[in-house]
Amino acid sequence: MNKIYEQLVAYKEKGIDMVVVTAIEKQGEGPVEVGKKMIVTTDNLHGTVGGGALEHEAIDIARKLLNKRTHLTEKYFLNEGNLIKGAKTLPMVCGGTVTLFYEFVGVKNFVYIFGAGHVGQALARVLKPLDFHLTVIDERQAVIEQFEGADVINHQSFAGYIDDHGIKDNSFVVVCTPSHKYDYHVINKILERDLKPCYIGMLCSLEKRKSYLDKTYEAFGKDINLRHFYSPIGLDLGGGSPEEIAISIAAEILAIHHGKKDHRHMRGNLNDQNRYW
């Protein structure tokens, strides 16, 4: 059992998401004892919750929860062909019931900040205490050397980072580079590679947004999916200092992360249908 905890700590230190599956209740016969644990990551397994159909089910559920970044408690009836209320029947003949607790262990989500200037730095100060994993990218040596609070700091070209490392699915991307040209390079690279963050926010004015969208439709066609594109970025809180803008962006990220609706986004209400959304 100690090895399970050692592995958990090792994964946590490396920022690797995992689901810890624990047998928390058992009645009757079954292949696992209460307290047994298994760690499931995208690529690896450690420990066991009994093997057979129960463990196969646990691995499948755990990997789905890795994408959802959430927890679950589920009860199983180990008696093929029979049913009991409140339990999922598995193709086993033990006859007992087992309850597993699936605990997601990882950061709240991954945020990529393209641009290490005043807004990027202020945003890192807001998001880091909220358990987001922060990666900042900037090609300006002097600026990146002064950046504090990110988990990963990359000194390289903005679009080059995406070519080298990609972007995690369902993550958050904040684009606040020092040039409109670099902003476009980042977002277009994400579109070109069909990457799937749940949020791409660009720091800009309405005029800049229109210019970008006109070029994007020209390059990718009018049917390009911009549902996750937020520009101007942030909730409509007011204020124009880097700190106020950072709070606005962080609030928007939290609202999307928690699935909250009806906030006033700077990009406009999604119920106001127009050609951009």
71, β-bridge pairs:
none
> Is the dihedral angle over the CA atoms 152, 173, 239, 214 positive or is it negative?
positive
Closest CA to 190 of 198, 156, 179: 198
Closest CA to 246 of 171, 176, 159, 155: 176
Q: Round to whole Å and give the CA distance between 58 and 2.
A: 21
pTM: 0.78
Per-residue model confidence (pLDDT) at position 274:
43
Contact assessment for residue 121 and residue 148, using Cβ atoms and an 8 Å cutoff:
yes
Per-residue model confidence (pLDDT) at position 273:
37
Per-residue model confidence (pLDDT) at position 253:
96
Q: Round to whole Å and give the CA distance between 255 and 129.
A: 16
For strands 199-202 and 229-230, give the pairing.
parallel
Contact assessment for residue 164 and residue 156, using Cβ atoms and an 8 Å cutoff:
yes
Chain-centroid distance, C-alpha 190: 16
Contact assessment for residue 35 and residue 123, using Cβ atoms and an 8 Å cutoff:
no
Q: Round to whole Å and give the CA distance between 83 and 50.
A: 21
CA angle 144, 257, 224 (to 5 degrees): 80
**CATH class of the domain defined by 110-257:** alpha beta
Per-residue model confidence (pLDDT) at position 263:
86
75, β-bridge pairs:
99
Q: How is the chain split into domains, by residue range?
A: 2-105, 110-257
Three-state secondary-structure class, residue 44: coil
The one-digit pLDDT tens for each residue of the chain (277 residues) are 678 999 999 998 887 899 999 999 999 998 999 999 999 999 999 999 988 999 999 999 999 999 888 899 999 999 988 889 999 999 999 889 999 999 999 888 999 999 999 999 999 999 999 989 999 999 999 999 999 999 999 999 999 999 999 999 899 999 999 998 999 999 999 999 999 999 999 998 888 898 899 999 998 998 888 989 999 999 999 999 999 999 999 999 999 998 898 888 988 744 343 444 4
Three-state secondary-structure class, residue 160: helix
One-letter amino acid identity for 44?
Answer: N
CB atoms within 10 A of CB 201: 27
Q: Round to whole Å and give the CA distance between 47 and 32.
A: 12
**What is the signed CA dihedral for 45, 47, 51, 56, rounded to 10 degrees?**
-30
